[in-house]
Amino acid sequence: MSWVVKERGFDPGRITANGNKFMIGNGVLGYRGTLEEFGKEELTATIVAGLYDRVGHKWREPVNAPNGLAMALRWDGAPFDVLSGGAGEHVGPAPEPLEHEQSLDLRHAVHRRRTTYRTADEAQVTVTSERFCSAARPHLIVNRISVESSRDGILTIVTGIDGDVWDINGPHLERLETGSDKDESGDVLTLTGWTHERNVPVSVAEAVDDGFGKQQERQLLRGETAIRRTLRLNCRAGTTYAWTKYVSVFTGLDKTGEEAGDPRLAAIASSREARGLGYDRLLREHAERWERIWDATDIVVEGDEEAQLALRYSMYQLHIIAPDRSEKVSIPARGLSGQVYKGAVFWDTEMFMLPFFLHTRPEVARNLMMYRVHTLDGARRKAAEYGYGGAFYAWESQETGDDACTLFNVNDVFTGRPMRTYFRDKQVHISADVAYGIWQYYKFTGDESLLLDGGAEVVWECAVFFYTYGYFNPRKQRYEILDVTGPDEYHERVNNNAFTNRMVKLCLRIALDALDLLRDRDPSRYEALLSGASVRPEQIREMHDSLYVPEPDAESGLIEQFDGYYTLEDVSLADLKSRMLNPHEYLGGGNGLATTTQILKQADVVLMLHLFKDCFDPAVKKANWAYYEPRTEHGSSLSSCIYALVAADIGVPDWAYPYFMRTATIDLTGESKQYVGDLYIGGTHPAANGGAWMAAVLGFAGLRYDGGKATLKPALPSSWRAVEFPVRLRQGAYRIRVEREALVITAEAGNPEPLPVEAGGREFAVAPGQEIHVSTISS
Amino acid sequence: MSWVVKERGFDPGRITANGNKFMIGNGVLGYRGTLEEFGKEELTATIVAGLYDRVGHKWREPVNAPNGLAMALRWDGAPFDVLSGGAGEHVGPAPEPLEHEQSLDLRHAVHRRRTTYRTADEAQVTVTSERFCSAARPHLIVNRISVESSRDGILTIVTGIDGDVWDINGPHLERLETGSDKDESGDVLTLTGWTHERNVPVSVAEAVDDGFGKQQERQLLRGETAIRRTLRLNCRAGTTYAWTKYVSVFTGLDKTGEEAGDPRLAAIASSREARGLGYDRLLREHAERWERIWDATDIVVEGDEEAQLALRYSMYQLHIIAPDRSEKVSIPARGLSGQVYKGAVFWDTEMFMLPFFLHTRPEVARNLMMYRVHTLDGARRKAAEYGYGGAFYAWESQETGDDACTLFNVNDVFTGRPMRTYFRDKQVHISADVAYGIWQYYKFTGDESLLLDGGAEVVWECAVFFYTYGYFNPRKQRYEILDVTGPDEYHERVNNNAFTNRMVKLCLRIALDALDLLRDRDPSRYEALLSGASVRPEQIREMHDSLYVPEPDAESGLIEQFDGYYTLEDVSLADLKSRMLNPHEYLGGGNGLATTTQILKQADVVLMLHLFKDCFDPAVKKANWAYYEPRTEHGSSLSSCIYALVAADIGVPDWAYPYFMRTATIDLTGESKQYVGDLYIGGTHPAANGGAWMAAVLGFAGLRYDGGKATLKPALPSSWRAVEFPVRLRQGAYRIRVEREALVITAEAGNPEPLPVEAGGREFAVAPGQEIHVSTISS
């Protein structure tokens, strides 16, 4: 049963973690894994992808829509919910939860809960709930609830839409308006609010389908911030009473057919249509979509059930937030799990999530990169704001591409004062990461359309930015990239960060290549691009050719992370931590404990070794892994997977395995940094989820694809008997099975061309429909 | 009586401040203005110029020699001293101080104290002490004490040398050895110790001359860290009992005649010789030296007694620490007042003290600049340490020129942890300041010897340093100076600091000019200099010609302090201070309150306006003064005088006056910052003392000298009727008197040539022996 994630028993201390762990979503909506009786205190959230709002001078962040899944149940007048179990303000003791279980069926993306209560009169009442965020209908969440008791009693159901929601920097919705639209199938309740900043309407509708008929007493309750209905039902022992809620969420950003522009009408129509179709049919179409998703992506691990489940779970987390319908949104660093990190898109997408989609769902990869095309103007504005040319992409990007990142990202735990951090203005590698992502898409798919539809402009503008950012060192006769923050954010404002410089050089190369392609394919667009350019291609070429990129030391093989890194204090991580005076103190920034030491937050040089794996020989990789690994705090969830990948690459999968598991289980265990200073940073970790996939497929299975040839250089962890997975490379679909001593590569019959492969010391091609077995026993 | 600084009454809270205020010294020794009965707790100190020591990993700092002026007095067995007055552990109550007075005669540099005690039996006993640090004999301190009582009683005198001294990062002297050398005139006591780091011997000798003869009982007391003698004397009412101490301090660094190499013998000989000459004769030769010093330097202010005294006091403080005998030492930022700031020499010397000596005692100015020539190798080592060429002078320079500045200069008051500051590695303007100082000496004196004796190498090496530090901006086609800390230390690591860039440009210019001079005067030295140079003069010229120097905005006239300064928060100083959580918290550094605002520590752009006063028109100066003045915290004692100077320059002396008085009285009131973090930074403020002189002569009297012509553009504060002072310009000596509506310039008869002058709208020359009166009433 490596498809089900389950927790038994109710632990109030796990409410926040489980809200992340048991998320459902469909790329348009994300719904936290909270229980039906939960409210804002328990961080319920319905996050709408791509809709942001700002209140006053507080941080801009995603809008949490009114909670259409709100529900309260009473048994003979006493509430039953896991929170107030055993005591409350009501008359008499509340029913006590005897058993409780929450689970997620990954295969069909269905969330379930089952709770059995013991009532004051010793009856047992069992409540189940099953919900999914429809993969077929992006605005719909469906929830089916059932109640069964061992004695007769009166069940009161309070169900509706709660607009008093969890907000970090809200409230974002103003002028909440309730609505109740009746037709022959019953009422559809609506709650509509308007965002503070741009007055975008957000409307939630709830239709309920129950078979209770005359048996029930109904009542409509309108409040300031909620609309609910109550149903009072005489229940008989042994009978199951079930009902379904059809909740639709539309916003002013959705244009859907006739109701375009009126999200309330769209939501009503959607919920009515869903009610008409009924639960089973909606579940079936949803489940079919998921079957297809898994067909294209599932990894089978033989010999390691824990890794199997963790890998599937990681992919599940990516699928539920994948923007498969829109090229205007990308994936935020905390997915759709809330408002943490402002719901912003970071480099995480290009560097840690994109590979998964490139290899499995290239249409999603294209959307992710088109998002950068659509936000190019924001990046241009940011560059201009700092006095540079070209495009300086937002460190924290929202819908416009303007940077949501503030100059003060963390509060000092000792003074409570905001601390100046150099994420926004100095993490310039973001523009190179974007260019890299666009070029990766082109290399993997062979699809030029992204470049021709604006991608070439993006990479060119990124290169122009770097040209205007760079300096020439007259004594050393080379270009340098000064004053940057690399991936290791504990060391801000450093010079010649090896990772950054190499990425910049690549970006310049990509820009020149993209320009060549554009000239060939769309000469007029090429002319237009260059006619207004302040920088000439020759200048980009000159910078490319004489840009300083730190190389491995001839003797030790080590690459210095940045100029002067070795002069910093070489303290052990344990010693550094023993100096901490507060468990949440930020280790970077002006006075951070790590700032003046060699302790790094996350893979930096080692990330470069991963991205440029063909540029370094194994001895160099090993030397740098061994040097930087004990000095890495892994204060970022982006770190472990990279150490896993490089360890696998150098043939030491058992070094890699603990890092892989740490990455793959991050949202299962909830064991990640929750606070930096007094800033809550919890939520899901899609970059780590993508990292888990990378570690398995690119690391342990050792798959590489350069746009022409695939290479397999497996290094399975000792517990893995085999791993098998599908991939798409260019227009072809393949299954790859890696065993301890053999490989099997199967090409789909419909593939357009053979795939050249290098594996097991051989070079061969896999023709459409062909299955090739290769021995990997070293001779 | 504007020659005497006096305090009446004893206030224990003033002990530290008065230790600074009542300092005596002679450029070789500095003795704090403490009382004879004080010990290490009261911060007694005998600082030896140019002798440094380091214990373990603590800061290197000057050596505090054993205290040869230590003395304790008892009356009928009970101690009388101002500290234990009224109570103590002895038998019966201690004598109580009735009256107390401490004073400094500036004219003759004599320290006096007079205290009258009431004893347990109601007798009054008066103790006086008079001491001076001989201006004629650099190793000698002389102290004459007298006691007179209203009743008979027994006086016990405990006098000797106390080696248990105040140290910030000591103890510096090891293996203290006591000695007692008798001859016909009595014992000479000695205490000798050896420095920790380099084993340099430091020896103090005490000879006592009293006329007590047989009347006394004598006893020698040898301790671990002290040697003392006691004298017991039956005193008769109404009789004055007086004695004199001759204290000599020699170190292993002194080579004096026959005793070279044995400082103990040298000290004994010196004290014996002094005892032979006697108090009056020693005082006379000392006073004569001081008369001559004042003849060459005194400023007479008519109409403002307070300013008069403060100005004389400021000059006194400079004279007592002026290295008039050695070109191997310069003036530390806290003079010889203790170990604060590691006894290190900062840019303070060139920018704030040098002008005084250039105009009055050019031979001292030459010594100050030769110190930089002698420490060139240290500056070369520092440049190489950071990967640059040329000479990067120490931010905190000691005897070798290696940088005593640490990377962690201040402790965080909230965590107690050391804070990374960028004084040492980023305050690169120091090398330009040194070049400027050398060139100023040449311009003022016309003396080429400094340049020919190594000065040209210094300025060339400073220019080479900047060439290797600079970067070329390819887009803007200009050189830039990146990543520096300017005078305003609250903003570290900024780009294109207007002050720094302009100073660098000047340094490049000076280097080219000095090279021309060297080629003409000493072609072989010129060839030698260039033959090993990694940078060619043409490269220096190219950088000079295309170095970016921020200019005034065409509209507002404002000069931005550095790139992006205007984007910082524009908070008022009061608001900023209201945010402070701890009165000693450092406002700069990584998380300092000022760092992210426009609040500056000290004059920065305004300092540039002063140094380059000919480059900016009055409207620009006024606009920038008005902009930066309310934003300046004056957290440094280097700030106020510059605001005074520029205010006088733009013709608003009443804006200048409060800043002038603040500068001129800093060591009189003791009202300066005493702590930064938990770091004690008190002591004397020679830069402010030099600034007071500059404000009076260069500001209010408006004297400028460009090496050829003198200009006078007076702007007297409203209370000043006139100011009169001597100056030396090139080989000539002059007296200048500035009245409210007239000027008088008198040239000494022995001057070698006439001085061209511009004043009162006229241009004329002052021939040797001539006195010229000029009306300054505007027509």
pLDDT tens for each residue of A24-67: 999 999 999 999 999 999 999 999 999 999 999 999 999 999 99
Cβ atoms of residues B196 and B211 within 8 Å: no
DSSP for A662-687, written as a single string: HHHTHHHH--S--EETTEE--S--HH
Q: Collect all residues of chain B within an 8 Å Cβ-Cβ radius of residue A415.
A: 414, 581, 591
Examine domains A4-295 and A347-700 and report if their fold is the same.
no
DSSP assignment string, A698-709: IIIS-EEE-SS-
- Asked if residue B194 has pLDDT above 60, the reply is yes
Among the listed ranges B100-104, B328-332, B650-654, B774-778, which one has the minimum average pLDDT value?
B774-778
Q: Helix, strand or coil for residue A277?
A: helix
Q: Is the pLDDT of residue B38 over 90?
A: yes
Residue pair B466/B460 in contact (Cβ under 8 Å)? The answer is no
Chain-centre distance for alpha carbon A71: 28
Comparing C-alpha atoms, which of A564, A481, A493 is closest to residue B387? A564
- Residue A593: C-alpha distances to residues A568, A627, B420 (Å): 12, 20, 10
The distance from CA B725 to its chain's CA centroid, rounded to whole angstroms, is: 21
* Confidence (pLDDT) at B453: 96
Residues B40 and B164 sit within 8 Å (Cβ to Cβ): yes
With beta carbons under 8 A apart, name residues in chain A contacting B480: 471
Mean pLDDT of chain A: 94
Establish whether this prediction's ipTM goes over 0.85.
yes
> B534: which chain A residues are within 8 Å (Cβ-Cβ)?
475
- Residue B174, beta-bridge partner list: B194
pLDDT score recorded for residue A179: 95
Model pLDDT, residue B87: 44
Q: Are residues A548 and A560 in contact, defined by beta-carbon separation less than 8 angstroms? A: no
Alpha carbon distance, N-terminus to C-terminus of chain A: 38
Query: Out of 3.90.1150.10, 2.60.40.180, 2.60.40.1180, 1.50.10.10, which CATH number does the structure's domain A347-700 have?
Result: 1.50.10.10
CB contact under 8 A, A472 and B474: yes
Residue A414 structure tokens: 């000792």
- Between CA A122 and CA A90 the distance in angstroms is 18
Q: Indicate the residue type of A81.
A: D
Element (H, E) at A101: strand A96-105
Nearest CA distance, A370 vs chain B (angstrom): 30
Contact B716, B699 (CB under 8 A): no
pLDDT at B671 > cutoff 90: no
Please report the pLDDT score of residue A256 as a whole number: 52
- Taking CA atoms, what residue in A is nearest to B589? A590
Q: Is B348 annotated as a binding residue?
A: yes
Under-50 pLDDT residues of chain A = 86-90, 259
Quote the pLDDT of residue B93: 62
Check CB contact under 8 Å for A475 and B493. no
Q: Which of A62-66, B322-326, B409-413, B442-446 is predicted with the least confidence, judged by mean pLDDT?
A: B409-413
- Looking at chain B, the whole-number percentage of residues with pLDDT higher than 90 is 88
Binary contact (B473, A471; C-beta < 8 A)? yes
User: Alpha-carbon dihedral of residues A24, A29, A35, A39, nearest 10 degrees?
Assistant: 160
DSSP structure string for B641-661: HHHHHHHHHTT-HHHHHHHHH
Phi, psi of B169 (to 5 degrees): -130, 40
- Distance CA(A323)–CA(A367), nearest Å, equals 7
Which of these, A635, A366, A612, A656, lies nearest to A498 by C-alpha position? A612
Give dist(CA A428, CA A483) in Å, integer. Answer: 9
Amino acid sitting at position B704 = R
> Per residue, what are the HEC states of B361-373?
CHHHHHHHHHHHH
Domain boundaries, chain B: 42-295, 298-700, 701-779
B701-779: CATH topology is Maltose phosphorylase, domain 3 (2.60.420)
Residue whose pair of structure tokens reads 């408002």 in the numeric block: A339
Instruction: Count the Cβ atoms, other than its own, within 10 Å of residue B105.
Output: 19
Which pLDDT score is estimated for B765?
97
Residue B301's pLDDT band (cuts 50, 70, 90):
very high
The answer to whether the CB atoms of B591 and A417 lie below 8 A apart is yes
Rounded to an integer, what is the distance from CA B657 to the centroid of its chain? Answer: 22
Residue A114 backbone phi and psi in degrees, to 5: -145, 120
| CA dist., res. A41 & res. A21, Å (int) | 17
Any bridge partners for residue A747, and if so which?
A: A734
| The CATH number of domain B42-295, selected from 3.90.79.10, 2.70.98.40, 2.120.10.30, 3.40.50.300 | 2.70.98.40
Judged by average pLDDT, the poorest of A275-279, B122-126, B289-293 is B122-126
Give the class (CATH, top level) of A4-295: mainly beta
Pairing of strands A46-53, A61-64: antiparallel
C-beta separation of A32 from A19 below 8 A:
yes
Active-site annotation holds for A489: yes
Instruction: List residues of B whose CB lies inside 8 A of any A CB.
Output: 387, 389, 407-408, 412, 414-415, 417, 419-420, 467-468, 470-475, 479-480, 482-483, 493, 495, 534-535, 539, 543, 563, 579, 581, 589-593, 595-596
Q: What is the mean pLDDT of chain B?
A: 94
Length of chain B: 779
CA distance linking residue B165 with residue B19, whole number of Å: 14
Per-residue pLDDT band for B518 (boundaries 50, 70, 90) equals very high
Structure confidence at residue B86 (pLDDT): 46
> Would you call A467 and B480 a contact, using CB atoms and an 8 Å cutoff?
no
Residue owning tokens 């940094």: A673
Longest dimension (CA), chain A: 90
Residues of A in contact with B407 (CB under 8 A): 596
* pLDDT surpassing 60 at residue B156: yes
pLDDT of residue B1: 58
Nearest to A475 among B467, B475, B482 (CB): B467
pLDDT digit string, tens, across residues B212-225: 876 677 889 999 99
Give the mean model confidence (pLDDT) for residues B245-263: 81
Class of domain B298-700: mainly alpha
Give the model's pLDDT for residue A473: 97
Length of chain A: 779
Asked if pLDDT for residue B684 goes beyond 60, the answer is yes
Which range among B89-103, B163-177, B575-589 shows the weakest confidence by mean pLDDT? B89-103
Residue for token digits 């991205």? A611
Phi/psi class of residue B576: alpha, beta or left (left: φ > 0; alpha: ψ in -120 to 50)? Answer: alpha
B477 is known to lie in a ligand binding site: no
The radius of gyration computed from the CA coordinates of chain B, to the nearest angstrom, equals 27
> Per-residue pLDDT for B48 more than 70?
yes
CA dihedral A179, A180, A183, A184 (to 10 degrees): 160
Chain B residues touching residue A482 (CB < 8 angstroms): 471, 482-483
In angstroms, rounded to a whole number, what is the distance separating the alpha carbons of residues A526 and A528? Answer: 5
Longest CA–CA separation in chain B, Å = 90
Q: Which residue of A has its CA nearest to B535?
A: A475
Cα–chain center distance at B386: 29
Beta-carbon count within 10 A of B216 CB:
17
Find which of A426, A471, A490 to mutate to test the B interface (most B CBs within 10 Å of its CB). Answer: A471
